[in-house]
């Protein structure tokens, strides 16, 4: 897409004001109690699958700021205790972005000023707004399976027609096979090359009123293929649509479970940490079949 066309999506796809001038939840408003209750009907076998990666304490090209894990209680002290320090954003930790994470022209989602993100945290749109969690119907869109490969190559784009074809096959989590590729080829600098959604997918997401989007990478194809817009999915989905994004999920076990169950929909449960004024939270999303 041309840069001007992508920039225009900030207005064309905007959800600003849709849920009122003081809204803090964005597209999660679409998950009503009725939607959650209906989603529980997808549970049949009781199989549960984690969609999170283990917290990685080892540095790597895709993990320049690893999790710090320090033991503060061992056999010496007479009890077990530890301390974790986590920078959730980036390309390693499974996390969900708060709507205060991305700025555009001095504004956050719903028109809040970026000045609300302060040295003491975000006074608007912080991750603590999700304290009641996310419980809804999930759908896996397995793009490698659609294309007949184990994993997409880094930098390979996913287009709306791919999502539509995968949607028909399934019946929204976009699997690229990132971890399978990493297991085979080793870690690489994901900021330089990552499979993901082309900017043309944004209108598709808005038309279907997707409430939250997760990926085993960062949703965006990198490089973005859009001049002067580095991450259009992050920029427009978060700021214009109010869409909470989940990055660095592990969807391989989920894909295997979907194949075994013979269906690509499930109950999806996410419980972010209640981090007051935080810009993200590590997560361990659970799919229930």
Q: What are the Cα distances from residue 210, in Å, to 80, 242, 244, 271, 279?
A: 43, 10, 10, 18, 21
**pTM score, whole prediction:** 0.96
DSSP helix, strand, coil percent of the chain (3-state; round to 5): 30, 20, 50
Give the tens place of pLDDT for each residue, 252-287. Answer: 999 999 999 999 999 999 999 999 999 999 999 999
Tell me: the pLDDT tens digits for 24-42? 999 999 999 999 999 999 9
How far is 59 from 113, CA to CA, in rounded Å? 35
Mean pLDDT of 207-224: 97
Is-contact 204 237, C-beta < 8 A?
no
The pLDDT value given to residue 171: 44
Six-digit token string for 77: 């002290």
Cβ atoms < 10 Å from Cβ of 24: 21
- CA-angle at 92, arms to 88 and 93, nearest 5°: 40
* Pairwise CA distance, residues 272 & 47, whole Å: 22
The H or E element spanning position 247 is: strand 244-247
* 92 pLDDT more than 70: yes
* pLDDT recorded at residue 168: 62
What gap in Å lies between CA 276 and CA 120, rounded to an integer? 10
């Amino acid at each position: 897409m041309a840069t001007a066309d992508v920039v225009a999506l900030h207005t064309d796809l905007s959800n600003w004001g849709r849920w009122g001038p003081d809204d803090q939840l964005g597209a999660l408003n679409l998950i009503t109690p009725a939607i959650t209750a209906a989603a529980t009907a997808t549970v049949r076998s009781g199989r549960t699958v984690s969609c999170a990666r283990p917290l990685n304490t080892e540095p790597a090209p895709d993990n320049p700021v690893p999790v710090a894990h320090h033991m503060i209680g061992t056999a010496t002290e007479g009890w077990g205790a530890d301390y974790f320090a986590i920078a959730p954003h980036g390309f390693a930790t499974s996390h969900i972005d708060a709507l205060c994470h991305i700025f555009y022209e001095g504004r956050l989602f719903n028109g809040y000023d970026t000045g609300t993100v302060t040295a003491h945290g975000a006074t608007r749109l912080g991750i603590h707004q999700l304290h009641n969690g996310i419980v809804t119907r999930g759908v896996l869109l397995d793009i490698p399976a659609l294309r007949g490969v184990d994993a997409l190559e880094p930098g390979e784009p996913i287009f709306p027609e791919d999502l539509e074809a995968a949607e028909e096959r399934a019946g929204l989590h976009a699997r690229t096979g990132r971890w399978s590729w990493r297991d085979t080829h080793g870690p690489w600098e994901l900021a330089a090359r990552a499979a993901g959604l082309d900017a043309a997918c944004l209108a598709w997401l808005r038309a279907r009123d997707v409430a939250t989007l997760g990926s085993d990478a960062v949703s965006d194809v990198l490089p973005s293929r859009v001049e002067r817009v580095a991450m259009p999915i992050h920029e427009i989905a978060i700021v214009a649509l109010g869409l909470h994004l989940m990055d660095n999920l592990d969807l391989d076990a989920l894909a295997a479970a979907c194949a075994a169950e013979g269906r690509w929909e499930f109950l999806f449960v996410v419980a972010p940490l209640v981090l007051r004024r935080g810009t993200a939270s590590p997560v361990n999303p659970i799919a229930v079949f």
